[in-house]
């Protein structure tokens, strides 16, 4: 081969290589088993798709802030999962199915309730990126075995019901303190008992959601656990014992004295009785802002229960006891399942009113052992009634 031929060959190879680098690949077909073509329609390819720019991928700062505020990756269960993954040397986000399954066994080893484990695992799975969620089948398989072998994990400890004989002394003790926090707590207890609300529903209410009339309080409830897309207007007729109208007005007047006539209904208070602003709560309750947190109501319920000298039966004293107390009193007053379901806004056909409140109330009144004669001990050497001649 001559030098010219060699040069031409090398040049040809170089030109070919450059062309191969800049030549775009042929468009790929975009079809699957659901693709349907009409007469004359071409097969769809990647060339037919939209051409996105960076702008199509960005969200505004406002949208970003809202998404972060509801980010499941920042919940307590997810934080605990991250910590565990760090200790185990595993990747938390997105996690593998093996990691997800192993963490469920870790929760089971702690003896947690089945419902708690399911709640934690659900939050962790939902926090994973779309399309990268772990498979739940293996974890549910383990949970089924755990449920079978650990019956105590199924036990649900019901809150001690704060019925009127309990809630009234708590209210009176709070008011007797003469402090603004007592005014607030008395209003919370009276309202919580009569409203039959879940704690989060109570603390999420706004002043604008409440209308206090002379003989009743009208509540506009944007949503609850069983009515996500259905607002409700609930009428709370006042009672001579609860005096809900008077106590709610007194609390609202306290807020109004500081110029507060809108926003969160139940708020944190400073030592001097002044409502805490969002700024003063920023470090400890940034997500709740000026809204009272549910665990605070728990603490206040326990505080005034003890301060009133009340004694329970071993069941937990919690804010849920206000809802349980109202429901228990209704059941003992022979309210039906349906009436309780409506009053407490349980889901249609929920077994809770019947199983937790109505049935126990009926059973308490229907003591089968009342048919058994009372045992009477011997007196003065005489045999007990019904035992004559028996030895």
Domain with CATH 1.10.443.10 in the chain: 164-363
Identify the pLDDT of residue 298.
92
Beta bridge partners of 235: 218
Per-residue pLDDT at 14 exceeds 60: no
4: left (phi over 0), alpha (psi -120 to 50) or beta: alpha
**Three-state DSSP class for residue 210:** strand
Q: How confident is the model at residue 290 (pLDDT cuts 50, 70, 90)?
A: confident
> How confident is the model over 271-285, as a mean pLDDT?
66
Beta carbons of 330 and 342 less than 8 angstroms apart:
no
pLDDT tens profile 158-176: 788 999 999 999 999 999 9
- What is the DSSP code (8-state) at residue 212? E
The order of strands in the sheet holding 216-221 is: 210-212, 216-221, 232-237
How far is it, in rounded angstroms, from Cα 187 to Cα 249?
9
Mean pLDDT of the chain: 83
Identify the pLDDT of residue 382.
62
Model confidence pTM above 0.75: no
Per-residue pLDDT at 284 exceeds 60: no
Q: Was domain 164-363 assigned CATH 1.10.443.10?
A: yes
Identify the pLDDT of residue 18.
44
> How confident is the model over 361-377, as a mean pLDDT?
81
Give the pair of three-digit tokens for residue 134: 């772990």
Identify the pLDDT of residue 302.
95
Which residues, other chains included, contact 302 with Cβ-Cβ below 8 Å and sequence gap of 6+?
A: 317, 318
Beta carbons of 253 and 272 less than 8 angstroms apart:
no
How far is it, in rounded angstroms, from Cα 348 to Cα 227?
10
How far is it, in rounded angstroms, from Cα 386 to Cα 381?
15
pLDDT tens profile 43-92: 888 777 777 888 898 989 888 877 776 666 667 889 999 999 999 999 99
Q: How confident is the model at residue 248 (pLDDT cuts 50, 70, 90)?
A: very high
- Report residue 194: phi and psi, to 5°: -75, -30
Per-residue pLDDT at 379 exceeds 80: no
Q: How confident is the model at residue 276 (pLDDT cuts 50, 70, 90)?
A: confident
How far is it, in rounded angstroms, from Cα 190 to Cα 197?
11
pLDDT tens profile 130-141: 889 999 999 999
> How confident is the model over 143-157, as a mean pLDDT?
75
Per-residue pLDDT at 38 exceeds 80: yes
Beta bridge partners of 350: none
Per-residue pLDDT at 25 exceeds 90: no
> How confident is the model over 30-52, as a mean pLDDT?
85
Question: 279 or 106: which carries more pLDDT confidence?
Answer: 106
Which residues, other chains included, contact 376 with Cβ-Cβ below 8 Å and sequence gap of 6+?
A: 384, 385, 386
Cα-based distances in Å from 246 to 4, 67, 214, 232, 385: 108, 40, 9, 23, 57
How far is it, in rounded angstroms, from Cα 187 to Cα 250?
8
Give the pair of three-digit tokens for residue 212: 């206090």
- What would you report as the CA-atom Rg of the chain, rounded to the nearest whole angstrom? 33
**Most confident of the ranges 82-91, 107-116, 311-320:** 82-91
């Amino acid at each position: 081969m001559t030098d010219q031929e060699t040069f031409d060959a090398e040049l040809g190879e170089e030109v070919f290589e450059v062309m191969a680098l800049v030549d775009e690949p042929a468009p790929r077909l975009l079809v699957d088993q659901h693709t349907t073509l009409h007469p004359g329609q071409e097969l769809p390819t990647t060339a037919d798709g939209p051409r996105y720019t960076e702008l199509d991928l960005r969200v505004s700062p406002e949208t970003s802030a809202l998404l972060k505020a509801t980010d499941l990756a920042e919940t307590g269960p997810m934080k605990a999962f991250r910590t565990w993954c760090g200790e185990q040397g595993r990747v938390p986000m997105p996690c593998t199915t093996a990691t997800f399954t192993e963490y469920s066994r870790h929760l089971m080893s702690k003896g947690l309730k089945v419902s708690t484990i399911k709640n934690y695992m659900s939050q962790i799975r939902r926090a994973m990126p779309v399309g990268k969620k772990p498979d739940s089948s293996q974890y549910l398989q383990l949970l089924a075995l755990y449920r079978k072998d650990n019956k105590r994990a199924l036990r649900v400890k019901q809150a001690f019901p704060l019925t009127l004989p309990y809630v009234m002394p708590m209210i009176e003790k709070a008011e007797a303190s003469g402090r603004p926090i007592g005014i607030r707590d008395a209003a919370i207890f009276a309202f919580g008992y009569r409203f039959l609300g879940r704690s989060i529903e109570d603390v999420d209410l706004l002043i604008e959601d409440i209308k206090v009339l002379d003989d009743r309080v009208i509540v506009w409830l944007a949503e609850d656990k069983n009515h996500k897309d259905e607002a409700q207007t609930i009428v709370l007729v006042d009672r001579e014992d609860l005096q809900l109208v008077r106590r709610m007005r007194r609390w609202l007047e306290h807020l109004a004295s500081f110029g507060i006539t809108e926003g969160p209904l139940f708020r944190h208070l400073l030592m001097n009785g002044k409502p805490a602003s969002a700024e003063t709560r920023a470090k400890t309750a940034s997500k709740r802002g000026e809204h009272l947190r549910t665990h605070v109501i728990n603490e206040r319920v326990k505080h005034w229960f003890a301060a009133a000298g009340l004694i329970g039966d071993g069941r937990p004293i919690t804010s849920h006891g206000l809802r349980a107390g109202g429901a228990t009193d209704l059941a003992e007053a022979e309210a039906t399942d349906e009436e309780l379901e409506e009053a407490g806004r349980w889901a249609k056909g929920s077994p809770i009113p019947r199983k937790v409140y109505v049935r126990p109330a009926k059973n308490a009144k229907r003591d089968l052992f009342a048919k058994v004669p009372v045992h009477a001990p011997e007196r003065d050497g005489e045999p007990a009634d019904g035992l004559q001649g028996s030895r």
